[in-house]
Amino acid sequence: MRFTIYMLLIYLSFPVLSQVDRCSFDEYRQILKNRGLYKECKNYSSQYYSMQDTYTIPVVVHILYNNDGQNISDERVYSQIEVLNQDYSASNMSLDNIPDEFQDVIGEVGFAFCLVQKDLDGNDFSGINRVYTEVESFNMSDDAMKRSSEGGVDAWDSENYLNFWVCNLSGNLLGFATMPGDVSAELDGVVVDYEYFGVDLSSSSPYNLGRTATHEVGHYFNLEHTFYAGCSDWDSCDDTPSISSPTYGCPEFPQESCNSIDMTMNYMDYTNDACMHMFSSCQAELMIDALLTYRPNLIAAEDCSVSIDENTYTNDIFIHPNPVLDKIFLSIEKSSIYLYDIYGREILSNYYLDKDFLDVSFLHSGTYIIIIDNYIQKFIKR
């Protein structure tokens, strides 16, 4: 029976019309089992941590590149960390898009991801580990990206760091991840294809807003797909209604299956990045539980915030302070400005500023792009 359902899941994961494998978690788990690497009996360490509002999780991003295009920019990495932080704190602006039916079960996970600021020897470090590789593309089936001896890069101590491997994945895979205890430590972490890591507004892909990592990190903290086992609903959460199959694209609301309204906007479904907006309360609790029970050493003792460009100057114009709480001052006045959020959504268009500051207290916290007289500046709203 279980095998039959599993085959059904495999089938459902490859819809005829899909051009990408939105997530290869289920297939990867099967590969691990076939290779004898999957731990059916898991040993968990158990330590006591008191509940708190926010848990800081140190991240190292290994970028494996065979050419310049695969060597994605620091900005892209920062934008990914930003998206993770917004999604896991339920502070992304798209929460307004969640239907009334699900507003009461929006989950705030309270994880703050940060790029580690020290390397394993204690030296200052950006959190971004760039490694040239001779390998043109990596296969999910052999985990070579996770081994230096095979053209990849060895995991940093995965009990203490969330390892991301960003590389060129063969086929049309977007990413895959390991659940707590699934595998031995050196294979533990999240793999994302370089094209889908971070926010890339120049990309026409519907997976260009960093939600592949949001989804995969969900698996990393023990979440199943919302459509796991279809109407049998094996995702361990009652507040994610059972859903018969993965949802692709960006569906109108409401969609129904299994006699209930589908939560297609859940990060653990397969919709376009722009159309997924929430974890549920139960999913948040499962992830916090996974962190405290199975991955307690991940919790960082101190914040290791993303280093933001300190140089906010351009040739002629500068802005301060940065980060900003309420008013951002410009070195010029009487100018027209454009303001965008990190998703590229326009907030102000050709807005005429007749003073030397802009009141940004109305913005949610996050990263913003301001364009003044064709000069582009980035600032952080606290």
If one asks whether residue 270 binds Zn ion (CB under 5 A), the answer comes out as no
Give the binding range for Zn ion (CB under 5 A) out of 23-31, 85-93, 304-312, 335-343.
Answer: 23-31
Q: Is 195 a catalytic residue?
A: no
* Residue among 9, 12, 20, 23 that touches Zn ion (CB under 5 A): 23
Give 262's DSSP letter.
-
Least spacing, CB of residue 91 vs Zn ion, in Å? 23
- Closest by CA to 317, choosing from 356, 358, 369, 375, is 375
Binding mask 164-193 for Ca ion (x = CB under 5 A): ------------------------------
If one asks whether residue 235 binds Ca ion (CB under 5 A), the answer comes out as yes
Give the binding range for Ca ion (CB under 5 A) out of 137-145, 208-216, 226-234, 343-351.
Answer: 226-234
* Residue among 237, 324, 339, 342 that touches Ca ion (CB under 5 A): 237
* Residue among 188, 233, 262, 341 that touches Ca ion (CB under 5 A): 233
Least spacing, CB of residue 25 vs Zn ion, in Å? 4
- Catalytic-role residue among 216, 302, 310, 333: 216
Q: Tell me which residue has its CB nearest to Ca ion.
A: 240
The whole-angstrom separation of Cα 163 and Cα 154 is 10
Least spacing, CB of residue 13 vs Zn ion, in Å? 9
* Residue among 12, 13, 25, 288 that touches Zn ion (CB under 5 A): 25
If one asks whether residue 105 binds Ca ion (CB under 5 A), the answer comes out as no
* Assigned token pair, 376: 């582009």
Strand partners, 173: 21
292 binds, among Ca ion, Zn ion, none (CB under 5 to 8 A by kind): none
Please report the DSSP string for 137-195 in residue order: -B-TTT-GGG-GGGTS-PPP-TTTSEEEEEE-BSTTB-EEE--TTSS-GGG-SEEEEGG
Give the binding range for Ca ion (CB under 5 A) out of 126-134, 237-245, 266-274, 356-364.
Answer: 237-245
25 binds, among Zn ion, Ca ion, none (CB under 5 to 8 A by kind): Zn ion
The whole-angstrom separation of Cα 326 and Cα 359 is 6
Q: Which residues contact 202 (CB under 8 A, 6 or more apart)?
A: none
The whole-angstrom separation of Cα 250 and Cα 276 is 9
CB 147 within 8 A of CB 154: yes
If one asks whether residue 240 binds Ca ion (CB under 5 A), the answer comes out as yes
- Closest by CA to 308, choosing from 209, 377, 380, 201, is 380
Say how far residue 267 (Cα) sits from the centre of its chain.
10
Catalytic machinery residues: 216
Q: Which residues bind Zn ion (CB under 5 A)?
A: 23, 25
